[in-house]
């Protein structure tokens, strides 16, 4: 729990504290929510909120790298988000394209490896291409893994895994008796990634919104009222501080 005495500390002091504790979560997933409300509060179009949100992404990627988080998964665009007004979807897609193009060099220099999770094949050719380029340019980097969940839906991911599994059973590649949690995990989009230790959601909503349904089975949840464009390095470190005070029992005693 976040208490008064931690809140008075500066960003640097909290960072120091969490590094001293040592158990930095290996994999952090974030539902970056509240861009629209942030813009609305200022009488701006929703796209201005998304634009401000990109700046937060940069801050959080930098902060995660500094404290040696291994994987940062960001819920960037859900499959359901296609149903927003056309102009908003276009604005988000343009930001995605521009940010990937502009930040590629910096990701490369900062030793960040970019990967994606979701049905990328359904993005336009141009967007797929710029992502592929950034993924390929950063593929040998050994620092933070930045995983963008794009056109992602947790239920669709499970359905896609089941379809692939059924195909492999049909083709005698595996026997149905071999199917267990570990094998199933390998069929998910996140193949090879460990489950998130900590899931942060900004702007107060207490729901998963179809994010990492399988993977978050034992993930620690942290919800803050702060809107994504306002989410600071200090807020990020506070979430980790809170995580470090939890006892993860995994159903045991």
Residues annotated as part of the active site: 33, 81
Site for Mg ion in 21-80 (CB under 5 A): 33
* Smallest distance from ligand IPE to CB 117, Å: 12
The strands making up 27-31's β-sheet, listed across from edge to edge, are 113-117, 145-152, 71-78, 27-31, 198-201, 220-223
Q: Is 34 in the site for ligand IPE (CB under 6 A)?
A: yes
Cα torsion through 115, 121, 122, 128, rounded to 10: 60
Sketch the per residue contact string, 103 through 142, with ligand IPE: x for CB under 6 A, - otherwise: ----------------------------------------
> How many of the chain's residues bind ligand IPE (CB under 6 A)?
17
Q: Does 95 bind ligand IPE (CB under 6 A)?
A: no
Beta strands in the chain (DSSP E): 27-31, 71-78, 113-117, 145-152, 198-201, 220-223
Distant-in-sequence, close-in-space partners of 67: CB < 8 Å, separation ≥ 6? 15, 18, 19, 24, 237, 240
CA atoms of 123 and 135, how far apart (whole Å): 15
- Per the DSSP assignment, residues forming a β-bridge with 9 are none
Query: Residue 77 or residue 187: which is nearer to Mg ion going by CB?
Result: 77
221 binds ligand IPE (CB under 6 A): no
* Min separation Cβ 106 and ligand IPE, Å: 22
Q: Which is nearer to ligand IPE, 138 or 202 (CB)?
A: 202
Cβ–Cβ under 8 Å, residues 201 and 222 = yes
**Residues of the chain by 3-state class (helix, strand, coil), percent to 5:** 50, 15, 35
Please, which residue, 33 or 220, has the CB nearer to Mg ion? 33
- Identify which of residues 33 and 103 has a Cβ nearer to Mg ion in the complex: 33
Which DSSP string do the residues of 95-116 spell out, in sequence order? HHHHHHHHHHHHHHHTT-EEEE
CB of 67 to ligand IPE, least distance (A): 23
d(CA 43, CA 210): 29
Centre a 10 Å sphere on the Cβ of residue 113 and count the other Cβ atoms it contains. Answer: 20
Q: Is 154 in the site for ligand IPE (CB under 6 A)?
A: no
- The residue from 28, 31, 54, 114 that contacts ligand IPE (CB under 6 A) is 31
Nearest residue (CB) to ligand IPE, 169 versus 223: 223
Binding status of residue 220 toward Mg ion by CB under 5 A? no
Residue number of the CB closest to ligand IPE reads 36
Tell me which of ligand IPE, Mg ion, none is bound by residue 48, counting a contact when its beta carbon lies within the kind-specific cut-off of 5 to 8 angstroms: none
Determine if 231 is a binding residue for ligand IPE (CB under 6 A).
no
Interface residues with Mg ion (CB under 5 A) are 33
């Amino acid at each position: 729990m976040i208490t008064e005495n931690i809140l008075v500390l500066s960003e640097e002091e909290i960072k120091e504290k969490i590094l001293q504790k040592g158990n930095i979560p290996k994999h952090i997933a974030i539902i970056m929510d509240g861009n629209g409300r942030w813009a609305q509060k200022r009488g701006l179009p929703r796209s201005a909120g998304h634009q401000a949100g990109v700046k937060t992404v940069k801050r959080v990627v930098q902060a995660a790298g500094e404290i040696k988080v291994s994987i940062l998964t960001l819920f960037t665009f859900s499959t359901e988000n296609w149903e927003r007004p056309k102009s908003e979807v276009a604005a988000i897609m343009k930001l995605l394209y521009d940010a990937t193009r502009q930040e590629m060099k910096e990701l490369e220099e900062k030793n960040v490896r970019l990967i994606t999770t979701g049905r990328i094949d359904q993005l336009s050719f141009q967007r797929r291409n710029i992502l592929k380029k950034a993924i390929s340019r950063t593929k040998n980097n050994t620092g933070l893994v930045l995983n963008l969940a794009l056109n992602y839906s947790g239920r669709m991911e499970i359905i896609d895994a089941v379809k692939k599994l059924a195909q492999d059973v049909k083709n005698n590649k595996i026997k149905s008796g071999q199917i267990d949690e570990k094998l199933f995990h390998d069929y998910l989009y996140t193949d090879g990634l460990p489950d998130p230790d900590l899931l942060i959601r900004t702007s107060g909503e207490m729901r998963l919104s179809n994010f990492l349904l399988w993977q978050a089975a034992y993930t620690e949840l942290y919800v803050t009222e702060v809107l994504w464009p306002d989410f600071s390095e200090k807020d990020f470190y506070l979430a980790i501080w809170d995580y470090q005070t939890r006892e993860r029992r995994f159903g045991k005693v």
